[in-house]
Chain A
Amino acid sequence: MAKLEQLKTAFVTALGIEDSEVTDSLAYSEHAKWDSTAHMVLIAEIESQFEIMLDTDDIIDMSSFAKAKEILAKYELEF
Chain B
Amino acid sequence: MAKRVFITGATGGIGKACARLYAAQGASLMLTGRDSTKLSELKSQLEDEFAVKVETAILDVNQVDDFKPAFMQVQKQLAGLDILVNCAGTLYESSLMTSKIEDIQLQLQQHLTSSILLAQFASRFMVRNTHGGSMIFISSVVAMQGSAGQSVYACAKSGLHGLTKSLAKELGTQQIRVNLVEPGFIETALVEHYSQDKKQQIAEQTCLKRLGKADDVAQLILFLTSDAASYITGQNFAVDGGLTLTNGTH
A residues in contact (CB < 8 Å) with B = 37, 40-41, 43-45, 47-48, 51, 53, 55-56
Indicate the member of A40, A43, A45, A51 with the most B CB atoms within 10 Å. Answer: A40
The CA of A41 and the CA of B173, in the complex, are separated in Å by 11
The CA of A56 and the CA of B174, in the complex, are separated in Å by 20
B residues in contact (CB < 8 Å) with A = 68, 71-72, 75, 120-121, 123-125, 127-128, 173-174
Indicate the member of B120, B121, B124, B174 with the most A CB atoms within 10 Å. Answer: B124
Question: Which residues on B sit within 8 Å (CB–CB) of A41?
Answer: 127, 174
The CA of A40 and the CA of B124, in the complex, are separated in Å by 7
Least CB distance, A10 to chain B, in whole angstroms: 12
Q: Which of B68, B75, B123, B127 contacts A51 (CB 8 A)?
A: B75
Asked if A37 and B128 sit within 8 Å, CB to CB, the answer is no
Question: Which residues on B sit within 8 Å (CB–CB) of A37?
Answer: 173-174
Question: Which residues on A sit within 8 Å (CB–CB) of B174?
Answer: 37, 40-41
Subset of 9 A-B contacts with CB under 8 Å: A37-B174, A40-B127, A41-B127, A41-B174, A43-B124, A44-B125, A45-B128, A47-B124, A55-B68
Least CB distance, B71 to chain A, in whole angstroms: 6
Asked if A53 and B75 sit within 8 Å, CB to CB, the answer is yes
The CA of A48 and the CA of B127, in the complex, are separated in Å by 10
Least CB distance, A35 to chain B, in whole angstroms: 11
* A53 with B127, Cβ < 8 A, contacts A37-B173, A40-B174, A41-B174 known: no
Least CB distance, A79 to chain B, in whole angstroms: 22
The CA of A48 and the CA of B125, in the complex, are separated in Å by 8
Nearest-CB residue, chain B, relative to A55: B68
Least CB distance, B220 to chain A, in whole angstroms: 28
Asked if B120 and A44 sit within 8 Å, CB to CB, the answer is no
Asked if B123 and A53 sit within 8 Å, CB to CB, the answer is no
Q: A37-B174, A55-B68 are in contact. List 19 more A-B contacts (CB 8 A).
A: A37-B173, A40-B123, A40-B124, A41-B127, A41-B174, A43-B124, A44-B125, A44-B127, A44-B128, A45-B128, A47-B75, A47-B124, A48-B128, A51-B75, A53-B68, A53-B72, A53-B75, A53-B124, A56-B120
The CA of A40 and the CA of B120, in the complex, are separated in Å by 10
Question: Which residues on B sit within 8 Å (CB–CB) of A48?
Answer: 128
Q: Which of A40, A44, A53 contacts B71 (CB 8 A)?
A: A53
The CA of A45 and the CA of B129, in the complex, are separated in Å by 11
Nearest-CB residue, chain A, relative to B71: A53
The CA of A45 and the CA of B174, in the complex, are separated in Å by 13
Least CB distance, B197 to chain A, in whole angstroms: 48
